[in-house]
Chain A
Amino acid sequence: MRMDITDFYDTFFEEAEELLADMERHLLELDVDEPDTEQLNAIFRAAHSIKGGAGTFGFDILQKTTHLFENLLDHTRKGELTLRRDIVDTFLETKDMLSDQLDAYRNGDEPDQEAFERICRTLQQIALEEIGQDLDGGAAAPPKPAAAPKEPEPESREADGEAGEGDQLVVALLNVGEKDRQLLVEELAQLGDVVAQGGDESRYEVTLASSVSGDDIEAVMCFIIDADQIQIRSVGNDQAAQTEELAEAVKSADAPQPKPADEPAKTAAGKAAVDQKAASASAAAKPKTKPKAKSGGESTSIRVSVDKVDQIINLVGELIITQSMLDQTVSEMDVGSDGALLNGMSLLQRNARDLQEAVMSIRMIPMDFVFSRFPRVVRETAGKLGKEIELVTEGESTELDKSLTERIIDPLTHLVRNSLDHGIEPPDVREAAGKPRTGKLILSAKHQGGNIIIEVIDDGAGLNRDRLLSKARENGLPVSDAMSDDEVWQLIFAPGFSTAKEVTDVSGRGVGMDVVKRNIQGMGGHVQIMSRPGEGTTIRIVLPLTLAILDGMSIKVGSEMFILPLSAVLESLQPAKADLYAMAGDDVVLKVRDEYLPVVAVHDALDVPDAKTELTETIAVIVQGEGRRYALLVDDLVGQQQVVVKNLETNYRKVPGVSAATILGDGSVALILDITGLHRLSRAKKERRRPERGSHSLEVLSDKALSDNALETSS
């Protein structure tokens, strides 16, 4: 059996991505003046591990880039390279480049050669300028400045040859099952010649003649088994150093048996081997610290594909539906005093709900996933704009559905950039206004009911009402001075709207804010803005926690059942004749308190037969969609229930006025209404009807309405 190495690609990509994220976090936290050795080591290790994997999978460019980077980092952690802010910036740039390369490989492309050469030059330049060294030392071996320089020429070449080809490593696999072991041995055979192998499941040793360093081998095998299942030592190595390193786990019985044949090579190769040892000292630090962290972390989390999770969620959804079906059947049965059955049913209901909640929580990931990328954004944007900004994040542990966290990143980045650019003033201006020079940007997340609230708060100048209004007039938007602050603030979401005096490369082109709003609405959320002149602006995003289940209100029109998203429902009432007004032909508005709301008759928009057409007999549900309110006319309110959202597009297509479907307790399908879509639909219908007026009851109404200005109904 031969397993294709490409099967491990995905694992590598995922791990590399995490390593890069770690790297970035450490780089950002790094104190330039007094770098923490642990952090430098962590950054180095990340680069090193990626290099190892890249080498194995033949990702040349990635390997070369990480190699240069790693060498530079090596000098840094040894204190030979003094860090500066611009060097850290270069490191961050390199990290971005690595991400790009990784993406390219993941998509089966070759990375951008030009960018690769540029970053290599930059790294080389730093090395030359700062430490006067070329980085292109050995391509595979770690730099060895002290590598046997005193040895006579011929011998040293021989030593190199020995170290390159003749060096033997004993790789011990601990507690590895037979299937994995076969794979690993095959994997090892790719890296060098397998000289000997043997042992049992608890400890299986493979002696390998290879030029690959021990930690590279470890890096490769870590994609299949865990780091603490591998022990690597080179044969003919200094025993003392070895026992120190490995003794904790390995009994001396297993100590290497130096073969006589190795002796001659030992003196020559020993030096190189020791050198390698020094390199793996970094790896030694890893096995020492990692097992502790890992043994804790391993049992608490596993990596599972989203597909599997979604499958479970779907199945649980089915279970819930089956349970409600059963419930309905039982309630219709004459069970009378059959307490056991009723008890069982209520227990089943509770368990099913608990199960559903537990399963849904699998998809939830903390907002830290989103927030953790903002230190970088803020640092760079602030640098470009010459502003001093402190970023505070709150509520990082607040959880949100994974699909939503991924989709919120772009809009949120845009809002943050916007706040930095337009919100927070330059340091001098702030000082003049009596505020601290350093601006403050707060990113916060919290749960409220079934929603998550994400806020971007700045302590900048706030929005300028007059400027927004005058700009809106310039753009030809319908505005008046009487508009409420809230309405004025919403203007910034109008397409092509920008109040920036000059366009910077950060923001101000007027594209974007409307996209932000659309994206958030696409996720079933909305945006609110609060602003006070001189004190700052708060932009609040309200999102549902998940798109997979929905709190719905079931309504009946004719004999058909529909679901309205409960979050959109404000109130419901029986419309009184006096509150209904006909407008401009066949439009009808409903007066609710001081507001006139457009009336959307569901039966009309969706052609439902046998629905109530007498307006005063229907029920008006006041709903909100995309910031506007409508009065939906329905026949009956049935009740509230949580429904599992099912996509209509999977097997069919998008239906106007309908956002999705769900399955009711009786097993039938009900459509979930899309409020704004419904309104559009009903308008389009009226539009189409206009040329051939006269057939519909509303037509009659409006004629009558003209005479007495109050709405009479007829059917």
Chain B
Amino acid sequence: MRLYLVRRLTGSLVTLIGVAVLVFLLLRVLPGDEITARFGIESGSLTPAQRESLERYYGLDQPLVVQFFTWLGSVLTGNFGISVTSGSSVARLIGRALPVTIELAVLSTLIGAVLGVSVGVMAASNPNGFRDGAGQTFGLLGLGIPNFVIASAIIAFLAQRFGYFPAAASYVDFWEDPLINLQQQLYPALTLGVALAAATMRTTRSAFIEAASQDFVRTARGKGLSARRVKWRHVLGNSLTPIVTIVGIQFGYLLGGTIIVEEIFALPGMGRLVLTGISQREYAVVQSSVLVIAALFVVVNLLVDLAYARIDPRVRLT
């Protein structure tokens, strides 16, 4: 188990370093540099001397390696730089957007997992029966209907029934007013959750059917266990690995922000932050956001690996 943990941790660290290098290089490779970004077309009229002094000011005269480690050093000490357009620190911007995204991700994943696993088990309990057909139809619809359609339908319903229109300016933090906050988060979470549930349902269904055909399930029934115990303990227990995998991937993906849903429901999350950052050439914002998102993704993957070991004792040996 210790070896397993050490291996996963090392893997995570290597991934993170890789992401840092990649993000750093990508931004250097893109046409234009920070000076161009800041001065726009006027940067063409800078004299070589002015440009040189600006480069020295921003540290751009240093070799790439030095620049990388300077940046990495400041990121590690929590200094993500300053957003040029808003003037506030990038750390503060991320600090505001990240909780919105994390809350949305947690809620959507919960809805998706609970709905997906229950419909999946229901469908798999009687393959090709009526419930299976209903479950599969739900799965196809959930996968097939794009997010923005579901979202628009929900918004139309909300506006008509409650006269409610989402607006970014009116977003309320959970700590300020949990009730209003949950109201604002619930509908986007439902929108995302339904789509996630469809994928989880299909994974659950096939994993469950496969596990149900195993010999040990026959043993369990032969012992005189109740049908319920056989189903939830023995069959579902042995279908958990693929389910955890898909739910983990979904959660990690959601932590990167969901541009369409955030946009429609006017949630000031990571998706919007990155999108605005890109359109305004806010390199510091984009660079740091991507790094934070990647770090979270790596952490989620690590948690999924730990879950595998928790589920299956054989994994602890590898």
Q: Do A and B bind each other?
A: no
